[in-house]
Structure 1
Amino acid sequence: MHVKMLRMLGAATALYGLAVTARPELLARPSGLADPEGRVAEETRISLRPLVWRDVAGGLAMLCAPEGPALRTAAVVRIASDFGDAALLGSTLPRSTRAKAVAVSVGWGALSVAALCAPGRTGQRRGSRPGRCAGAAR
């Protein structure tokens, strides 16, 4: 398991989730869920926020989980979410944006799989305590 890569993927996922929670159009427009003028309906905004809040939670879990079973579990949940997104979006999005959305979801899932299956490289620095988020109170 490549801990540093899993942590970086977790941070990126959490940041993306926060960005889309604040501005759902960041996901809606490239996914074909906006009108022809690029406006996103309030119903769509409301529907996307819980989805990306899941990304915030999953990303933070990958960032903060102690090495070992907890980090592996967080990564597997992230992978299942990405591949689940690919399956659901691939069967429901407008045809014009479907392939791109599936490729992005599969790509993120594949990065997590690669990090999870990589030879054991830890992200710990000498003297650091496992399971602590960067900058967390000691």
Structure 2
Amino acid sequence: MRVRLLRVVGVATSVYGVAVSVVPDLLAGPSGLVDEGGRVAPATRISLRPLAWRDAASGLALALAPEGPALRTAAYVRIAADLGDAVLLGLTLPDRDRRRKAVAVSVGWGALSVLGLRGGGRGGRDGG
């Protein structure tokens, strides 16, 4: 297991989740969930905050879980969330180009966690 990589993914997703929970426009804008004037509807802000909080919580778990089964479980949760995002956003975002980008970003983050779960590689368990 590449523990350092999992910790970095955890911290990054947690920080991003907190940021989006405070400023949902950070996710709404790039996702195309804005009106013609680039404004985010209040209902969209409300619906994005729980998603962002999920990322903050799962990222924090990945960053802080003890090494072993707990860390592995936290990584699986993070991977499931990323793959779920890829499927759901890939099917539902309003613009084809934005759907592709959302899928690429989601799969990319999930792939980092999968890589983190793989054996230690160069440099032992934290190698990489």
- Specify the TM-score bucket, using the shorter chain as the normaliser: over 0.9
Which residue of 2 is the match for residue 132 of structure 1? none
Structure 1: segments with no counterpart, 5+ residues: 124-138
Offset of residue 36 of structure 1: 2.0
- Provide the C-alpha distance between the structure 1 equivalents of 2:70 and 2:126, rounded to a whole number of angstroms: 14
Which residue of 1 is the match for residue 44 of structure 2? 44
Structure 2: segments with no counterpart, 5+ residues: none
TM-score scaled by length of structure 2: 0.92
The 8 Å contact of residues 59 and 78 in structure 1, kept in 2 or not, is answered as yes
Asked if 1:24 is matched to 2:24, the reply is yes
Which residue of 2 is the match for residue 102 of structure 1? 103
Which residue of 1 is the match for residue 115 of structure 2? 114
* Count of residues in correspondence between the two structures: 123
SS of equivalent residue, structure 2 residue 106? helix
Which residue of 2 is the match for residue 67 of structure 1? 67
Q: Percent identity of the aligned residues?
A: 68
Q: Which has the larger radius of gyration?
A: 1
- Provide the C-alpha distance between the structure 1 equivalents of 2:57 and 2:21, rounded to a whole number of angstroms: 12
- Provide the C-alpha distance between the structure 2 equivalents of 1:112 and 1:26, rounded to a whole number of angstroms: 23
- Provide the C-alpha distance between the structure 2 equivalents of 1:43 and 1:36, rounded to a whole number of angstroms: 16
